[in-house]
Amino acid sequence: MTRSPRAVARNVRAGGIDPGARGDVAREDQPWAWDESRWRGCVERVRAGRSLKPQAWPGGAEVAVALSFDSDHETIPLRNSETHPGRLSQGEYGARVAVPRILRLLDHHRVPASFFVPAVSALLHPGEIGACVAAGHEIALHGWIHEWNTTLDPDTERDLLMRSIDVIERLSGSRPVGIRTPSWDFSDHTLNLIRELHLTYDSSLIADDEPYELLADGAPTGIVEIPVEWIRDDAPYLTMDRYTGTRPYTPPRELLRIWLDEFEQAHREHGLFQLTLHHHVIGHRSRIIVLEQLLEHISSISGVFFARHDEVAAYLAGLDPGATRRGSDRSGSETAAS
């Protein structure tokens, strides 16, 4: 049975759990029949290497704070071939209302951020790119049209990434150095492309609370991973879909408590607090107050290093291994990390 890219993508979005698909594969291809080289090879393809948690953040800061906004706008419905005005207007709200609101808030607190922008979104809203750059924010890669990389062949993934780099460079005035794969859908080929195209960091993976170096088949790559987490993402808590059971399950002010706990623990460990936000999710009146109060709290504390993701990556890449808190072995590291 041929499975459509949409079906495959739904499987990806569901975390790869698709019992219906398993009837399609031969017995020897069932995961429980794989030999060790096969399952080990899958795990080793892209893996967390040495921690890049520094002994000290710039200026002696006790905690680093890296905010990010994924400027998806209309690209998620477009990626899903949902082309009617009703669905697209949800993305339009993000660009039209939420981005100016968020930029005002960041400016008020003088906090830099990273904006991960699909190329099609940038082409639809070039003025937004200019406003972000003028305010000192980073523009980084987030796919062409928010495509799922794991549904693409390597040549197509490369082509879309190269075209995205060209668009972002032209509209922002500088070549992007970082990528967040759309929907955090990091394919078997993504790391090779990151290296081939001389990007310096990724922010799509989840293997640690702190930044780390990516390994490719066991070998260090020099690529910095600035990890994300669903816990530190607004979308899982606040997303609504009219036609499915997806509903916001967390009152926005409860979210503030969760993120304050995340920040306080990062502060205690002298680590990184990284946040992933979406304009069309957090930018509403009853939700922006969460970000407002979070920034008020963090700004009231001394010893905070606010930084764009590219600044975090550049700082960590410039450290010699002895300046990081831990080696490649995480075991027994918690004392050293606190």
Q: Which is nearer to Zn ion, 146 or 326 (CB)?
A: 146
CB of 70 to Zn ion, least distance (A): 4
Q: Which of 51, 72, 111, 205 binds Zn ion (CB under 5 A)?
A: 72
Neighbours of 242 (CB within 10 A): 8
- Number of chain positions touching Zn ion (CB under 5 A): 2
CB of 146 to Zn ion, least distance (A): 6
CB of 72 to Zn ion, least distance (A): 4
Q: Which is nearer to Zn ion, 185 or 269 (CB)?
A: 185
CB of 155 to Zn ion, least distance (A): 23
CB of 140 to Zn ion, least distance (A): 12
Which residue's beta carbon is nearest to the bound Zn ion?
70
CB of 235 to Zn ion, least distance (A): 8
Q: Which is nearer to Zn ion, 147 or 269 (CB)?
A: 147
Q: Which is nearer to Zn ion, 131 or 235 (CB)?
A: 235
Neighbours of 5 (CB within 10 A): 13
Q: Rule CB under 5 A: say whether 233 interacts with Zn ion.
A: no
The interface mask with Zn ion, positions 52-71, x = CB under 5 A, is: ------------------x-
Q: Which is nearer to Zn ion, 72 or 234 (CB)?
A: 72
Q: Which is nearer to Zn ion, 71 or 324 (CB)?
A: 71
How many Å is the maximal CA-CA distance in the chain? 60
Strands 212-216 and 46-51: antiparallel
Q: Which is nearer to Zn ion, 72 or 269 (CB)?
A: 72
Stretch that binds Zn ion, among 36-44, 72-80, 269-277, 319-327 (CB under 5 A): 72-80
Residue found under tokens 């069309």: 280
Q: Which is nearer to Zn ion, 72 or 138 (CB)?
A: 72
Cα gap 212→316, rounded to integer Å: 9
Residue found under tokens 């031969």: 26
CA torsion sign for 290, 294, 295, 296 is: positive
CB of 278 to Zn ion, least distance (A): 7
CB of 211 to Zn ion, least distance (A): 20
Cα gap 254→248, rounded to integer Å: 12
Neighbours of 204 (CB within 10 A): 22
CB of 288 to Zn ion, least distance (A): 19
Q: Which is nearer to Zn ion, 115 or 315 (CB)?
A: 115
> Which residues of the chain form contacts with Zn ion (CB under 5 A)?
70, 72
